[in-house]
Structure 1
Amino acid sequence: MSESPLNFTPFANEADVLEVGDLTVENRLDRITIAGEVDLTLDKAGLARAKLLLRLLAAAVANMEASPLPDALPPAGTQTVDNPFN
């Protein structure tokens, strides 16, 4: 497996999704959501996945360090909708 380019700018939009193994990284304007799992195996494929994750996290940290940050974000708002099956 060759090293994939990081076509993912953290906190840039509400649309980008990056997959690393079975790990999904979803871009948001105020957060990056990481869900799933990935095996960093002791082989070339595992090294490529590890480097991709390292670049992703380094880009996220650099973006955060360059931004004025609040102490904490407020909880995400929720909205209740009618059950369409009733």
Structure 2
Amino acid sequence: MTQSTENSAEQETLNAAPFAFKPYENDHQSLQIGELVFENQTDRVIAYGDIEITKNEQGLSEALKLQQLFNLIVAELQSAKQAGNFTQDSNKQGLLDNQDSFSKEVDNPFS
């Protein structure tokens, strides 16, 4: 494959149709790239799993998909910031901190 053919194949991948996944639009979409799963929520995008980006065609394809997804996420966040539409921080960490104040130590029943 020549350099110009490789560049045009890469460009085709970059110009591929956008994902059906629309970040922050609903609570029912998910997208999987490799073993990495992205779940959509209206106030967050949750990612879990893992991915191996190998130095071959599959690795390039997965990296370009990740790039496209993150570009969509960043664009939506920038748009929300400009419009003043950031959601309130509903960080679950804060909820766990509040629960700690209601917890108590118990004896280990196995000792």
Q: Name the CA distance, whole Å, in 2 between partners of 1:38 and 1:54.
A: 14
Report how far residue 74 of structure 1 moved: 2.3
Q: Name the CA distance, whole Å, in 2 between partners of 1:7 and 1:43.
A: 26
**Structure 2: gaps spanning 5 or more residues:** 1-12, 97-111
Report how far residue 24 of structure 1 moved: 0.5
Q: Name the CA distance, whole Å, in 2 between partners of 1:74 and 1:8.
A: 23
Aligned residue in 2 for 1:75: 91
Aligned residue in 2 for 1:11: 24
More helix by share: 2
Report how far residue 7 of structure 1 moved: 1.7
More strand by share: 1
After superposing on structure 2, the runs of 4+ consecutive aligned residues of structure 1 that deviate more than 2 Å are 74-78
**Among 21, 24, 33, the residue aligned to 2:37:** 24
TM-score (norm 2): 0.61
Report how far residue 57 of structure 1 moved: 0.5
Identity, in percent, stands at 25
**Which protein has greater RCO, CA pairs closer than 8 Å, 6+ apart?**
1
TM-score (norm 1): 0.77
Aligned residue in 2 for 1:55: 68
Aligned residue in 2 for 1:83: none
Partner amino acid, structure 2, of 1:56: L
Partner amino acid, structure 1, of 2:25: A
**Among 47, 56, 75, the residue aligned to 1:34:** 47
Report how far residue 8 of structure 1 moved: 0.7
C-alpha RMSD over aligned residues? 2.1
**Structure 1: gaps spanning 5 or more residues:** 79-86
Aligned residue-pair number:
75
